[in-house]
Structure 1
Amino acid sequence: MSTSPQVQPVGSALTLVLLSTAAFAMKGLLAKYVYATGMTVDGLLLLRFLIAMPFFWVGVYMFGKHRPGERKMVPVDILWGALYGGMFFAAALFDFTAVSIIEVTVSRIVLFTYPAVVLILECLHKRRFPPLRQVICFVITYAGLVLVLAPDGINEVSDNLWIGAFWAFASALTYAAYLYFGQRMISVIGSMHFAALVNTMAGISMVIYELIVRKPLNFNLDGVLWTAGISIFCTVIPFFLLYEGIRRIGATQAALISLSGPAMTFFAAWLLLGEVLTVPQLIGFAVVVVGVASIKNGVTMAGLGRLLSRPYFSNGLKSSGQSDPVAKPSRSENMDT
């Protein structure tokens, strides 16, 4: 008697990715509470990396040994990990600096444009001009970003907003470079080993940076507790939720669900911090989401429908022993650690 293969429940996979997206979206908002206690950006980052570091290695020990693509690291991996860890540290430093200067919602929208930067890096690296569709998506994305940053005109933008947007874009640029060039290493040692190694090296980079600049940390009990929450609930746990979701439904659909992240941040910032976007900024926000969605997934209305229906369609095919004509292999996994 033959038994049918066990099918992972699609609803639970979607829930896992949605929960991870919501947790990642809360990271910048909770940072505002840390800064309100008097703790500095440097203090938050140092604690965040140091607290998260052991949890990632526990995850590797418990879940990473038998995952497809995961292997033990060799000395050369440490060197590459140091490079990517330094880039990840810089991206995090720029990101949390931006959050300390401007509203969480605006900084998230600027950072959210990093797939457009990945597009530029890929074209420069491969020395080719992007297809017209991608150029249009790129223009749409940054046209929406201009609306978000300057709804009343360029001349009305405050100096603080320019400075905060600069740091947010610097984070998007560094994060895009880290993802684009790091994806090869992910395919070599596996996503869990890569995340643990990069976070460890980022933590070491943070320690070295602090020893050099010697900026105040302003540790206090409330700030430490908020930072511990960011480290565990907005970094480690959502990472494991995201990759379990990716394992079940694939990176393409997980990336589609992650497009809801800025909207979650916007709602939470409005509810908890009283941040409000103007009508032109809301239009710009919608334009940015559409542009980024198109860059990341080549989304059309018909294509979006096929992607969202794919898990249910796939389950039906699995039960009948047929193949899924919609499914396509994914080159890399979406990371936000």
Structure 2
Amino acid sequence: MGFVLCLVSATGFGLAPLFAKQAYAGGMSVTTMLTVRFALAALLLWGIVLIRRRPVRMTGRTLAVVIGLGAVGYALQGAAYFGAVATIDASLAALLLYTYPALTTILAVALRRTRADRRRIAALTVSGTGLVLLLGAGFDAGVGILLALTAAGTYAVYLTVSETLPEDLDVFALTAIVCTSAAVSIALGATITGGLHAPAVPSAWLWVPAIAVIGTVLPIAAMFAGVRRVGASTAAILCGLEPAVTVGSTALVFGERLTAAQLAGGAAILAAVVILQTRGPAMTPARSAAAPQTRSAAATQARSAAMNHSNAGTFGVNGSQPLSVPSSAQ
């Protein structure tokens, strides 16, 4: 059941870019889509918080950090990622986003939260090779690539900051606050820049609830339940299905195709995630199973969200081992 739940989560986050592209085809702007998506997701998550009836306790400082994570970190990550999806093939954007585990590892080493052992160096080398293959395959969509890499970098910082949060925070309350903050932040920015407007085709509105429910809230809940059963590292590896779903679904619906070099690059990036999640012999199953509650509280937003994504979207883990969700976090 834990495996199934994690795969359901990865599938939901992986479908978010497909739904977004359908909304864009109807004339919906990125900021309008994200504002409504985060607002709907926040309403659903607050409903879950009320149903669960668990006390939500956090200090003023913690609340400020969580609001900042949503209003700045998750809002920027979501805008950059879904902006990339509107500019380049969603399959390429999804694979570029998955460089965030390597970027998070680099940050962890730079901040001396972990050490650059052979396993991490190997993972960074493999991920870097994959990135070179992705970027060297004849693409000239510089803005879209830059947006996707910005999303990956922002998400790496987001996960690093969320590591500082208390371990006993309720994941759904945390995610609800993040999504609420992101919705308000993006709505204010879009209002100032004139980015909020109704799509030319009214049916485009139908895709936004799909992103909010199937691409955000459902995968967040499924990932939370799945991590509790199989552990954070196993769940992170299973999340490798997320970009595969994006690649497959956009190829089926929009005819997007990756070159052989890009497929090899994507495979290398996902292989790096597996290497990073492979624990040494000193890590016992008991310790692995103890991590999920902490890690899920750190980044279950819609990878991606908080997520995807993330797709948004996403569960934060310790510096060298980010567990995706945001992407949709996405």
Range class of TM-score, shorter chain: 0.7 to 0.9
- Inter-partner Cα distance in structure 1 for 2:152 and 2:260: 25
Alignment of 1:1-337 (within 5 A): 12-63=1-52, 65=54, 71-85=56-70, 86-126=72-112, 130-151=116-137, 156-158=138-140, 160=141, 162-185=142-165, 187-219=167-199, 220-295=201-276, 297-298=277-278, 327=288, 329-330=290-291, 332-333=295-296, 335=300, 336=303, 337=306
Let me know the Cα RMSD of the aligned residues.
2.3
What TM-score comes out, normalization by structure 2 length?
0.83
For residues 240 and 101 of structure 1, the distance between their equivalents in structure 2, rounded to whole angstroms, comes to: 30
Q: TM-score by structure 1 length?
A: 0.81
Shift of 1:188: 4.2
Distance 1:227 1:105, change over 3 A: same
**Given the superposition, is the C-alpha separation of residues 128 and 255 from structure 1 closer, same or farther in structure 2, using an over 3 Å criterion?**
closer
Q: Distance in 2 between matches of 1:178 and 1:326?
A: 24
The Cα shift of 1:64 comes to: 6.0
Structure 2 gaps of 5+ residues are: 307-330
Inter-partner Cα distance in structure 2 for 1:324 and 1:45: 39
Partner-residue secondary structure (3-state), 1:189: coil
- What is the number of residues matched between the two proteins? 295
Contact 1:47 1:224 in 2 (8 A): no
Structure 1, unaligned runs of 5 or more: 1-11, 308-322
SS at match of 2:167: helix
Give the CA deviation at 1:324.
5.8
Q: How far did residue 108 of structure 1 move?
A: 0.2
Higher Cα radius of gyration: 1
Q: Which has the higher helix share?
A: 1
- For the Cα contact (< 8 Å) 2:233–2:278, is it kept in 1? no
**For 2:166 and 2:53, how far apart are their aligned partners in 1?**
13
Asked if the contact 2:75–2:182 (Cα under 8 Å) also holds between the matched residues in 1, the reply is: yes
Are 1:293 and 1:299, in contact at CA under 8 Å, matched by a contact in 2?
A: no
Give the share of equivalent positions with the same residue, in percent: 26
For 1:157, the aligned partner's letter is F
Say which is worse superposed, 71-80 or 282-291, in terms of deviation.
71-80
> Helix, strand or coil: the match of 1:209?
helix
* Alpha carbons 1:52, 1:235 under 8 Å: kept: yes
